[in-house]
Amino acid sequence: MNKIEVITQTEALYTLRVLTNNTDVLVEEINLLARNNKAQFQHAPVILEIESRNFQANDLAVLIEILAQNEMVAVGIRSRKQELIDFAKFSGLAVFGKSLSPSSKSKIKVQEIQRPAVDAPNPHQDKTYQAPKIITNKVYSFQQVIASDRDLVLLERVKSGADIMSFGSISAYKEVQGSLFAGIQGDDKATIFVQKFNAELVSIAGVYKKFDVVPTKLYTRSVIIDLVNDQLRFQII
């Protein structure tokens, strides 16, 4: 007998069509949208449709944080840019197909659609949504950064001798020369993403590898690290 039953139902799913990577504009418009429509958008699932050609993965990380601060939940993206698609997959977001919304001159356009869904509890109900901690400044030698009870996003370089620690996963979008410790409370599902790998040490849930010299195949490459059978796995993307 099947232990999972799929039930088709109808619920709202919103699309935010984003036409700029200007953080100030996005903060202002999303804050206004959430404030004027709190009952509608609180804990609402949102697809991010990225139209701006200048939009990068670090911009997407910031946008997800802005949504979380306004109690909106990014569940997926729609974009033609491979960098954003890779980031979405790495972050556990869904990747959707062609646009469903017409052109618009506004920076953000909201569209409500209906979708089939599995009859399952909303994971963002009955608990506080913990958005990632985002570090926007460079981390210098002998500095320590820690994210408690959440993931960590690094938007600038991490210099040699710096220690980066997170209870969850770590995503770094510049060169990392220091040490990265993910899942420091024993979370073996935590992952590490580095845009330009040059780390001295990486660790997930206490399993670590130290680099006196970074191998050529990893040096300054984009790398995803996770745990498989209690061993670190390095995947070049």
Q: Which residue has the higher pLDDT, 119 or 217?
A: 217
| CATH class, 133-236 region | mainly beta
Quick check: 76 pLDDT over 60? yes
Q: CB-based contacts of 6: which residues, under 8 Å, 6+ apart? A: 118, 119
% pLDDT > 90, the chain: 33
Which pLDDT does position 197 carry in this prediction? 96
Domain covering 10-116 in this structure, CATH number = 3.30.70.260
Q: How many CB atoms lie within 10 A of CB 221?
A: 17
Residues of the chain with CATH 2.160.20.70: 133-236
Mean pLDDT along residues 181-200: 92
Residues of the chain with CATH 3.30.70.260: 10-116
Mean pLDDT along residues 145-171: 91
Which pTM does this prediction carry? 0.53
For the chain, the average pLDDT equals 80
28-55 per-position pLDDT tens digit:
888 888 888 877 777 778 888 987 778 8
Which pLDDT does position 111 carry in this prediction? 46
